[in-house]
């Protein structure tokens, strides 16, 4: 498969619009994560691609050919639903061998694939166990091995790591990506967890209420979120409100409520327009003395939380609660309750029009 194209898919369940014109392309060998809050349409999208749901309109093309007329088993995709999906009465080996056998491969070829897949997930030594004899994490790895051994062109994984203990989840994310890459597989991986999406994916598709919000590399989505929702969904965010008092040459001066004037980079805003200016915690800089230059605001350290490599500094700035995150060796210069200057670099500001539906609604997951 060279390319999978999703073209303007729509799907309704009664009055609920699960997919509202979703389009994107996946290159052969690419790892794409589909993420968004509960109810965004992620699983529906995966099921339509797998052939388990028929869309109301739109198309799914493999190398330019529609596969909508094909039954799920004719599409050469491997779909791994969320939750437990192993055959309970079959051994680990037979579970993983199911796909290749169904494809009519010789027992020799089947054995080779099963061994390779089980070794990759570290469970070859448990091949004779039954699913109920394994931990939840192990069962999930077997399900993954089964998807990998299927020999399909495209893996469709729905929350493949969600049943794992958080720590195992974090380690398996990277293994899963490397595995897919080393086998040259094309993957669409659904997760509600943006961090997991960043860890595994070449590109991330952010969905909300059946609408694509953004499609880009982890850097693009995190550093340049397309809208306030994506900005908030993709990581911690300080949200400040204000209005534009000057706009020139790609720069804006924003009068922030309660703080004063802020100089930021931004295009396409009018003087007088209400805006939201957002900063990632690690984009903020702190100093004990006032440094020259714009965008320095006096504040106070409310709390320091050591998180290992990074320390979170909770601040009070002009009556607003602001959170900064800095390398722990830099954070040791600051003390609780002490005054501090918070610098907001113009180039790191994320500026959006003030949402018509209100801030809470725009940020809600």
Partner 1 sequence: MNMPEVELSHVSKRYEDAVALDDVSLRVADGEYFCVIGPSGSGKSTLLKVVAGIVRQDEGHVYIGGELVDDLPVEERGVALMFQEIYLFPHMDVWENVTYSPSVRGAEPEVVRRIGLELTDALGLALDRRAMPGELSLGAQQRVALARALASGADLLLLDEPLGSLDPRSAVELRRELRRLAKGLRLTAIHVTHSQEEAMAVADRIAVMRRGRVVQVGTPEELYFRPASPFVARFIGGECNFLEGTVVGEEGGLLVVDVGGLAVKCAARGRVGRRVVVAVRPEFVELSRVSSPGSWRGKVLDRSFMGSYVRYSVRLECGVELVAKSPPTEAFEVGGEIYLRVRWDRAIAFEYPKEGLSRAVAYE
Is residue 218 part of the contact set for partner 1 (CB under 8 A)? Answer: yes
**Considering only residues 59, 195, 255, 316, which one is a binding residue for partner 1 as defined by CB under 8 A?**
195
Closest distance to partner 1 from the beta carbon of 316 (Å): 12
Handedness of CA 112, 117, 119, 123 (dihedral sign): negative
Q: How many CB atoms lie within 10 A of CB 139?
A: 22
Which residue, 75 or 139, is less far from partner 1 as judged by CB? 139
**Considering only residues 15, 54, 132, 166, which one is a binding residue for partner 1 as defined by CB under 8 A?**
166
- Please report, in angstroms and rounded to a whole number, the separation of the first and last CA atoms in the chain: 35
Give dist(CA 210, CA 189) in Å, integer.
17
Q: How far is CA 106 from the centre of its chain?
A: 39
Q: Which stretch binds partner 1 (CB under 8 A): 77-85, 153-161, 170-178, 266-274?
A: 170-178
**Considering only residues 219, 261, 330, 338, which one is a binding residue for partner 1 as defined by CB under 8 A?**
219
Which positions from 81 through 110 interact with partner 1, judged by CB under 8 A?
Answer: none
Closest distance to partner 1 from the beta carbon of 208 (Å): 13
Give dist(CA 353, CA 340) in Å, integer.
29
The CA angle 59-193-232, to the nearest 5 degrees, is 95
Binding mask 117-156 for partner 1 (x = CB under 8 A): ----------------------------------------
Which positions from 258 through 297 interact with partner 1, judged by CB under 8 A?
Answer: 280-282
Is residue 181 part of the contact set for partner 1 (CB under 8 A)? Answer: yes
Contact 3, 63 (CB under 8 A): yes
Look up residue 332 and give its DSSP letter: T
Quick one: which of 46, 112, 116 has its CA closest to 77? 46
**Considering only residues 165, 261, 330, 338, which one is a binding residue for partner 1 as defined by CB under 8 A?**
165
Quick one: which of 237, 240, 238 has its CA closest to 256? 240
- Where do contacts with partner 1 occur on this chain (CB under 8 A)? 37-38, 165-168, 170-171, 174, 177-178, 181, 192-195, 198-200, 217-219, 222, 232-236, 280-282, 303, 305-310, 312, 314, 325, 327, 364-365
């Amino acid at each position: 498969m060279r390319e999978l194209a999703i073209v303007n898919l729509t799907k309704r369940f009664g009055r609920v619009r699960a997919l509202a014109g979703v389009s994107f392309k996946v290159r052969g060998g690419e790892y794409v994560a589909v993420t968004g809050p509960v109810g965004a349409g992620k699983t529906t999208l995966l099921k339509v691609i797998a052939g388990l749901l028929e869309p109301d309109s739109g198309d799914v093309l493999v190398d330019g050919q529609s596969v909508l007329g094909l039954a799920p088993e004719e599409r050469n995709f491997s779909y791994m639903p969320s939750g437990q999906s192993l055959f309970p009465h079959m051994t680990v080996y037979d579970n993983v061998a199911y796909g290749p056998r169904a494809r009519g491969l010789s027992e020799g070829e089947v054995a080779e694939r099963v061994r390779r897949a089980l070794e990759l997930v570290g469970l070859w030594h448990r091949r004779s166990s039954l699913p109920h004899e394994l931990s939840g994490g192990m069962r999930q790895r077997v399900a993954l091995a089964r998807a990998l051994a299927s020999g399909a062109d495209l893996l469709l994984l729905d929350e493949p790591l969600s049943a794992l203990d958080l720590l195992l989840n974090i380690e398996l994310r990277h293994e899963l990506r490397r595995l897919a890459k080393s086998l040259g597989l094309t993957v669409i991986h659904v997760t509600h967890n943006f961090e997991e999406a960043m860890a595994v994916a070449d590109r991330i598709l952010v969905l909300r209420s059946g609408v694509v919000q953004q499609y880009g590399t982890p850097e693009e989505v995190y550093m340049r979120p397309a809208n306030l929702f994506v900005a908030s969904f993709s990581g911690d965010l300080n949200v400040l409100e204000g209005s534009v008092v000057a706009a020139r040459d790609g720069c804006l001066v924003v009068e922030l409520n309660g703080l004063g004037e802020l100089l930021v980079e931004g295009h396409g805003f009018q003087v007088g327009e209400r805006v939201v200016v957002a900063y990632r915690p690690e984009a903020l800089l702190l100093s004990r003395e006032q440094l020259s230059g714009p965008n320095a605001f006096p504040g106070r350290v409310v709390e320091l939380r050591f998180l290992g490599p990074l320390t979170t500094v909770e601040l009070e700035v002009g009556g607003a609660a602001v959170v900064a995150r800095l390398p722990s060796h830099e954070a040791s210069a600051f003390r609780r309750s002490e005054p501090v200057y918070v610098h907001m670099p113009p180039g790191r500001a994320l500026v959006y029009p003030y949402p018509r539906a209100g801030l809470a609604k725009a940020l809600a997951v």
